[in-house]
Structure 1
Amino acid sequence: MERYSRQVLYSGIGERGQRLISASTVLIVGVGALGSLSAEMLARAGVRKLILIDRDYVEYSNLQRQTLYTSHDAEEKQPKVIAAKERLVEIRPDLEVEAHIAHCDAPLLLELAEAADLLLDGTDNFDTRLLINDAAYKLGKPWVYAACVEASYSSAGFMPDGTPCYRCLVPVLPATTLTCDTAGIIAPAVQMAVAEQVTTGLKILTGQFRAPHHMRIGNVWDMEHMKYRIDGMKSDECETCGTHPVYPSLDERTDHAMRLCGRDTVQVMDARITASAVDHALSRLGIEVNRTPYFQEFHYGTSRFVCFNNGRMLIHGLDDMNKAKTLVNQLFG
């Protein structure tokens, strides 16, 4: 236990708390700025296992705030979950890491969340947070929300049968359409959001997440930090935690094409997009391809394509979903 001796000395955790942490499994949805830092903090704190889901790969623009990754990862366009796994086991060789290069949809999330003691939000969009919320409440799993943009951050923990859910809070959440890709972000905002998120997670794992419960919001540039109590915000009419829950986000169909939040990128999911199909199409058209163990990358028209080996493709350089579908049909018939 020498590795965790300073954490054990802290009266809020102690030996009993450390044993609970060391027996826990945490699912992190998204390992960008928020999720990668949360993963590192939890690995260093001693969790037994991390389950990571992310659909993207490391780019140079990530490195200013995504401290788990390196220039080599960006140069190689390593999938974030793979780069994260490699770095985390260097930090702690006994850590179990399960990595999924995938879009987080309801079936996958429900399957992976079954094995988790805690879910952490490392995403950058409202719809996926509602999906995490519905999966967590349906399965009776606690989860912790976090978000950041520009110099602002927010975070809150949710416990089925203990707090109102994220859907209950939607009307009072800060209204913004800003994203890191459109408005920018500074690393201290990420650090603060994750500090709040992981602290709440450790309280949950050690059985110390008790009322009163709060949403925490702040701006690190202006040095403004505040919290407001959420315990009384639960609605009996809520579709997730109300009297008759239906968990609507779990029933929503995942579109075959979707724009990624704040980016000139469209994600397309199509069963025709296999490695052999990509090779055949590009050979027929005489297009050069860059192959990695995880995806094939090529240019077609004015767009850059990244085709993963599971029927999923990112098309960079456009935000028109109909045009994206047209390009896919041109390539694969």
Structure 2
Amino acid sequence: MDKQFERYSRQMLFSPIGKEGQQQLAHKKVLIVGMGALGTVLANHLVRAGIGHVRFVDRDYVEKSNLQRQMLFDEEDVIASHPKAVAAEQKLRKINSDVTVEGIVADVTVQNIEKLIDGVDLVLDGTDNFQTRFLINDACYKFGIPFVYGGAVSSRGMSAIFIPGKTPCLRCFIGGGDTSGQTCDTIGVISPVVDIVASFQVVEALKFLVGDQSAQRTSLLTFDVWKHHMYEMKFSAPKQDCPTCQRKEYPALTAQAEDQITSLCGRETVQIQIGETLDLELWAERLKVVAQVTKTPFLIRAELPEGERLVLFPDGRTLVQGTEDVTRAKTLYARYIGL
């Protein structure tokens, strides 16, 4: 056995990969969007598996509440307020020096998504909101790059691989996405479900990267590890009117201007307008379990544990007070409201 592949000896004994598959993996490049709970598990598996180039991007920094489930981080990262992409890159480079590990501190937007996916063979979803997922989905289908979706909240998880030209896209298959407002920061999450979701994602990624098309799963797998439920939803034919995989309009790449995010000069406030009305009664109930909430007939004010404040208006506007950093405001908004 080549000394170069000694660390992968057990993986190469697995016949669907073997030496040929391992050599293929060494020449592949992947992108992970989000380096939180899912992203850290994804990156850990892929770097250890010997993927040649692992790029990941995240806009956030490490906080103490991350440590329960975000496996690459430790208390020193919290004390130093390390960006997640930086902390993950430092850890992963110590795990496998044969792999090119590239951590990027950035918010994934319509302005940079095409540059981020340039040259990659596969994109993996480590995000926590459907706005970013649809952006990834549309960019991947525009350029013919497979996209491995994953989601985890509470004790529930789901995953699927979407392959341009062979499967419906994420937008086509699930419609408008989950608008329930449930996030890990409002209803919680247990770490085992994160590991399971990410592991299912990596399995499909490895199948694709070594070219084992016959083994590729053609379904959305959903499960609840606490209630011990599992369900597999087979892919249907693409919808003929899907704007992404059929009409090739890629709305997430062209309609971003509809969402208005503005830093209010001199007020240490960022205003986010998502174009939808907000039910104040509903959001008061959701937020009071994680924040100190004051409600009036005209708005909700929620004092967040992080120190900032959310002010919600019925016309769909939300003010994130206590910061002028748009990226920080978007992080908090996604965490408590959901994008």
- Name the TM tier (shorter chain): 0.7 to 0.9
Q: Pick from 87, 90, 112 the counterpart of residue 91 of structure 2.
A: 87
Once the 2 structures are TM-superposed, how far is the Cα of residue 38 of structure 1 from its aligned partner?
0.1
Equivalence map 1:1-333=2 (5 Å): 1-171=5-175, 176-210=180-214, 213-230=218-235, 232-242=236-246, 244-253=247-256, 255=259, 257=261, 316-320=308-312, 323-324=319-320, 328=324
Unaligned runs of 5+ in 2: 264-268, 273-302, 326-339
Separation in structure 2 between the aligned mates of residue 161 and residue 109 of structure 1, nearest angstrom? 21
Give the TM-score normalised by the residue count of structure 1: 0.78
Separation in structure 2 between the aligned mates of residue 31 and residue 9 of structure 1, nearest angstrom? 30
**Counterpart amino acid of 1:61?**
S
Once the 2 structures are TM-superposed, how far is the Cα of residue 318 of structure 1 from its aligned partner?
2.5
Separation in structure 2 between the aligned mates of residue 236 and residue 142 of structure 1, nearest angstrom? 20
Separation in structure 1 between the aligned mates of residue 130 and residue 48 of structure 2, nearest angstrom? 29
Separation in structure 2 between the aligned mates of residue 319 and residue 15 of structure 1, nearest angstrom? 57
Give the TM-score normalised by the residue count of structure 2: 0.76
**Counterpart amino acid of 1:29?**
V
Q: Is the 8 A contact 1:200 1:209 kept in 2?
A: no
Q: Is the 8 A contact 1:257 1:325 kept in 2?
A: no
Q: Deviations over 1:46-93 (max 9, x none)?
A: 011111110000000000000110111011110000000000001012
Give the equivalent residue in structure 2 for 1:282. Answer: none
Separation in structure 1 between the aligned mates of residue 153 and residue 139 of structure 2, nearest angstrom? 25
**Counterpart amino acid of 2:218?**
H
Q: Name the CA shift for 1:268/1:117 in 2 (closer, same or farther; >3 Å).
A: farther
Once the 2 structures are TM-superposed, how far is the Cα of residue 150 of structure 1 from its aligned partner?
0.4
Separation in structure 2 between the aligned mates of residue 175 and residue 303 of structure 1, nearest angstrom? 22
Percent of counterpart pairs with the same letter? 38
Q: Deviations over 1:235-271 (max 9, x none)?
A: 11110111x2100101123656389xxxxxx8779xx
Separation in structure 2 between the aligned mates of residue 181 and residue 40 of structure 1, nearest angstrom? 23
Where 2:42 maps in the other structure, the secondary structure is helix
Once the 2 structures are TM-superposed, how far is the Cα of residue 226 of structure 1 from its aligned partner?
1.9
Separation in structure 1 between the aligned mates of residue 81 and residue 122 of structure 2, nearest angstrom? 29
Q: Name the CA shift for 1:190/1:8 in 2 (closer, same or farther; >3 Å).
A: same
**Counterpart amino acid of 2:309?**
G
Q: Deviations over 1:206-247 (max 9, x none)?
A: 1123466011000111111221210x23111110111x2100
Separation in structure 2 between the aligned mates of residue 88 and residue 176 of structure 1, nearest angstrom? 35
Separation in structure 2 between the aligned mates of residue 172 and residue 107 of structure 1, nearest angstrom? 22
Number of equivalent positions:
281
Q: Is the 8 A contact 2:123 2:148 kept in 1?
A: yes
Q: Name the CA shift for 1:77/1:258 in 2 (closer, same or farther; >3 Å).
A: farther
Once the 2 structures are TM-superposed, how far is the Cα of residue 36 of structure 1 from its aligned partner?
1.0
Separation in structure 2 between the aligned mates of residue 72 and residue 55 of structure 1, nearest angstrom? 19
Q: Name the CA shift for 1:169/1:45 in 2 (closer, same or farther; >3 Å).
A: same
Q: Is the 8 A contact 1:36 1:84 kept in 2?
A: yes
Once the 2 structures are TM-superposed, how far is the Cα of residue 130 of structure 1 from its aligned partner?
0.4
Once the 2 structures are TM-superposed, how far is the Cα of residue 94 of structure 1 from its aligned partner?
2.5
Once the 2 structures are TM-superposed, how far is the Cα of residue 35 of structure 1 from its aligned partner?
0.7
**Counterpart amino acid of 1:44?**
R
Separation in structure 2 between the aligned mates of residue 326 and residue 12 of structure 1, nearest angstrom? 53
